[in-house]
């Protein structure tokens, strides 16, 4: 269980993160409404079209204006949530210059993706006025697959230094485990998460020749090899149980639904979907829809996470290590041990730590019975 001096801070931290999420959501929605209702969006669209006569150029220029306005207006929230709050609860080790540089790198990733979505939207709208939503959904889904493929080799190294795991014994244990569960990985890497945060994490990312184990140095420092093996077994479980294809299928369905809703709404707007000045309204619709779908997405995610936990317990047959790892994750990441049921239902992509610990405890009699036979 959380030690007494961490239980209340964990509750406060979780509550403030939720409050910040809600305030930021309302702020961004209100900002987009203001940009549209004030006439700024139409003024920016007219100026962009007059300045750059080609369609792709004017769309890009409009996107730069809108994106800059939204980013600048949202920056205080981002700074408070990712810097001030993390330092207040002694989770972050970033200096302000490090935080700024991280923001720059995030923009280097986010801006091209945002521009790709914006340009793709209007390319499909102009080329296929009645079916653009289908093509947009399919194209964006394919982009997400490409991003998942290049995540380990291109995107993660932008933010964290990755070096091959230098613990020879642990490295071999993890490679043997991956072979045992028939999820071969190319290598195991240590990432310098401690440069930014005290939180611990691990992942198995990519697939095929890019699949690899990533272990945060914060995990390696504070967890035993047996506990780390439990955590990695959970991550391998997602791959062995084919959770990645499940997520891809769900992503395609939800993306298609979102694009279809955009199509229906855009047909009723003055100027229709081809008027780039209506883009803030489309983003408002997408934001509201994704918020409404969040409990369903999180519910599915919790189901898959429970399956991965059960897989890890079956494979390692080390419930004590699993339970100890859960306790340490709760302590180190300042996770709320047992949130209210409605909070878990709406916000949590993983089961509450207390439920995961209970699963490990429930596995003990099963293991003892197996040994008795």
| Cβ count within 10 A of residue 90 | 10
E strands present in 148-262: 162-164, 188-191, 202-205, 212-216
Alpha-carbon gap, residue 72 to 78, rounded angstroms? 10
Alpha-carbon gap, residue 206 to 148, rounded angstroms? 6
Cα 108–114–117 angle (5° rounding)?
A: 140
How large is the angle between the packed helices 243-266 and 225-240, nearest 10 degrees? 60
Q: How many helices (H) and strands (E) does the chain have?
A: 15, 4
DSSP 314-366: HHH--HHHHHHHHHHHHHHTT--SS--HHHHHHH-SS--HHHHHHHHHHHHHH
pLDDT at 5: 62
pLDDT at 370: 54
pLDDT at 41: 97
pTM: 0.89
pLDDT at 1: 41
Output the tens digit of pLDDT for each of the chain's 373 residues: 444 567 899 999 999 999 999 999 999 999 999 999 999 999 999 999 999 989 999 999 999 999 999 999 999 999 999 999 999 999 998 999 999 999 999 999 999 999 999 999 999 999 999 999 999 999 999 998 888 888 778 888 888 888 999 999 999 999 999 999 999 988 899 999 998 999 999 999 887 777 899 999 999 999 999 999 999 999 999 999 999 999 989 999 999 999 999 999 999 988 889 999 999 999 999 999 999 999 999 999 999 999 999 999 999 999 999 999 999 999 999 999 999 999 999 999 999 999 999 999 999 776 655 555 5
pLDDT at 6: 76
Alpha-carbon gap, residue 310 to 351, rounded angstroms? 12
Alpha-carbon gap, residue 328 to 342, rounded angstroms? 25
Alpha-carbon gap, residue 290 to 269, rounded angstroms? 21
DSSP 216: E
Q: Tell me if 250 sits within 8 A of 297, measured CB to CB.
A: yes
Q: Tell me if 204 sits within 8 A of 232, measured CB to CB.
A: yes
DSSP 164: E
DSSP 241-297: TTHHHHHHHHHHHHHHHHHHHHHHHHTTSTT-TT-GGGHHHHHHHHHHHHHHHHHHH
N residues, the chain: 373
pLDDT at 2: 44
């Amino acid at each position: 269980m959380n030690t007494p001096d961490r239980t209340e801070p964990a509750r406060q931290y979780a509550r403030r993160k939720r409050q910040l999420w809600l305030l930021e959501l309302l702020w961004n929605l209100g900002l987009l409404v203001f940009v549209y209702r004030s006439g700024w969006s139409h003024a920016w669209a007219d100026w962009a079209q007059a300045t750059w006569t080609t369609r792709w150029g004017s769309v890009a220029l409009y996107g730069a204006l809108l994106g800059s306005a939204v980013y600048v207006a949202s920056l205080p929230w981002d700074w408070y949530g990712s810097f001030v709050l993390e330092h207040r609860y002694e989770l972050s080790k970033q200096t302000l210059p490090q935080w700024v540089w991280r923001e720059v790198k995030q923009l280097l990733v986010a801006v091209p993706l945002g521009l790709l979505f914006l340009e793709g939207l209007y390319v499909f709208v102009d080329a296929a006025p009645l079916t653009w939503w289908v093509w947009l959904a399919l194209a964006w889904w394919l982009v997400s697959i490409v991003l998942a493929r290049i995540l380990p080799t291109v995107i993660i190294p932008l933010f964290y230094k990755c070096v091959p795991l230098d613990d020879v014994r642990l490295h071999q244990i993890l490679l043997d485990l991956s072979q045992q569960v028939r999820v071969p990985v190319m290598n195991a890497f240590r990432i310098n998460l401690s440069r930014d945060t005290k939180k611990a994490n691990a992942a198995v990312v990519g697939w095929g020749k890019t699949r690899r184990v990533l272990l945060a140095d914060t995990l390696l420092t504070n967890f035993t090899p047996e506990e780390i093996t439990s955590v990695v077994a959970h991550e391998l479980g997602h791959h062995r149980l084919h959770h990645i294809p499940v997520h891809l299928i769900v992503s395609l369905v939800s993306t298609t639904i979102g694009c279809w809703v955009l199509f229906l709404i855009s047909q009723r707007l003055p100027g229709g979907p081809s008027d780039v000045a209506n883009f803030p309204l489309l983003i408002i619709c997408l934001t509201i829809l994704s918020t409404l779908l969040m409990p369903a997405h999180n519910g599915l995610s919790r189901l898959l996470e429970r399956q991965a936990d059960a897989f890890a317990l079956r494979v390692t047959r080390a419930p004590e290590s699993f339970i100890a790892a859960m306790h340490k994750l709760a302590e180190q990441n300042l996770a709320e041990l047992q949130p209210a049921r409605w909070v878990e239902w709406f916000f949590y992509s993983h089961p509450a730590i207390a439920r995961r610990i209970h699963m490990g405890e429930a596995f003990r009699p099963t293991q003892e019975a197996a040994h008795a036979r």
